[in-house]
Amino acid sequence: MARRKALVIEDHPDARALVRTYLQTMELDVTEAADGRSAIRILKDSESRPDLVCLDLMLPELSGFEVCEFMRSNPSLKSIPILVMSARAKPMDRAFAEEVGATAYLIKPFKRSEFSRAVNVCIANGSEVERGKT
C-alpha cells in the first residue's frame, strides 16, 4: 500500500520544518509550499495530489483562505481534508476558515500530541469521504 501524502503550506521555514518532521514520524510523505500560489501549482498536479493539506492562513501571494476556497471549488480537490494551523486565535477566524472549507483548526503554537490527533481525525474523515465516493 502506498504511503499517504501531505502538503504543508507554511511561509515560515522553521514552522514548515517542524510540521514536516511531525508528519514524517507519522509515516506520511511530505511536499512543501511556502506561499499560496506555489501550493495551488502543486495541487493542480494530479501526480502529487495529497491525502492531507496542512495550511497556514497568513501566506504571501494568496492567503490560506483563498487556497481553501480554491480547493473546495475544484471537484478533484474538494474531498481532501484541510488542517488549518494559524496564530489567528479569534473565534471569527476559525469560523471563517470552517466556512471556506477547513476540516480542522489548530492555534499556533500547538503541542505535538494536538497536531497528531488533528491529523488522524482529518485523515479518517478524508478516508470516509473517499469510501463514500465509490
Q: CATH no. for residue 65?
A: 3.40.50.2300
Give the C-alpha separation, 79 to 65, whole Å.
Answer: 16
pLDDT at 127: 62
Domain count, the chain: 1
pLDDT-derived band of residue 134, with 50, 70 and 90 as boundaries?
A: very low
Distances (CA, A) of 55 to 4, 9, 48, 131, 133: 17, 5, 16, 24, 24
Domain containing 55: what range?
Answer: 5-133
pLDDT at 125: 80
pLDDT-derived band of residue 47, with 50, 70 and 90 as boundaries?
A: confident
Give the C-alpha separation, 134 to 132, whole Å.
Answer: 6
Angle (nearest 5°) at CA 29 between 116 and 102? 50
pTM over 0.85, yes/no: yes
pLDDT at 126: 76
What percent of the chain has pLDDT above 70?
A: 93
Q: Residue 24 pairs with which residues in a beta bridge?
A: none
pLDDT at 1: 63
pLDDT at 80: 97
Angle (nearest 5°) at CA 71 between 70 and 77? 145
**What own/partner pairs with CB < 8 Å and gap ≥ 24 does 69-72 have?**
69/100, 69/101, 70/40, 70/43, 71/43, 71/101, 72/100, 72/101
Model confidence over 87-126: pLDDT tens digits? 999 999 999 999 999 999 999 999 999 999 999 999 998 7
Q: What is the mean pLDDT of residues 36-62?
A: 94
Give the C-alpha separation, 60 to 45, whole Å.
Answer: 21
Of 78, 56, 92, 86, which Cα lies nearest the Cα of 125? 78
Model confidence over 51-67: pLDDT tens digits? 999 999 999 989 999 99
Give the C-alpha separation, 37 to 90, whole Å.
Answer: 26
Average pLDDT of the chain, as a whole number? 92
